[in-house]
Amino acid sequence: MVAYRYGMPILILMTTTQTTKITGNTYPARTWLKDCGFVFDKETKTWLGSDEAKSELERTSTASYSRANAKLIAGLTIESI
């Protein structure tokens, strides 16, 4: 998988067999998605991450962890590819 950071292509090697794709209103959640381990793909305008990143996203999106994150996840579409 190739993603872009600072306009330069970088190669992302995924060690898991499953990748998680996030679309939707991701701009307000971009810092949170980066912190969870997702990488933005400029070509498809989606966030891609491993199963570990998805687990971290689910852990930090509970209302008891952060009400702000719980509101942000409502605008996201999460699918496994």
Which pLDDT score is estimated for 13?
60
What pLDDT digit, counting tens, does each position of 32-68 carry?
999 999 999 999 999 999 999 999 999 998 877 888 8
The total of structural domains in the chain comes to 1
Alpha helix (H) ranges present in the chain? 30-36, 51-60, 67-73
Per-residue confidence band for 2, with pLDDT thresholds at 50, 70 and 90: low
Which pLDDT score is estimated for 4?
65
Instruction: State the residue range of the domain holding 42.
Output: 2-80
Q: Kindly tell me the burial class for residue 69, based on how many C-beta atoms sit within 10 Å of its own C-beta (0-12, 13-18, 19 or more).
A: middle
The two tokens of residue 4 are 């872009």
What pTM does this model have? Answer: 0.74
Tell me 13's DSSP state.
Answer: -
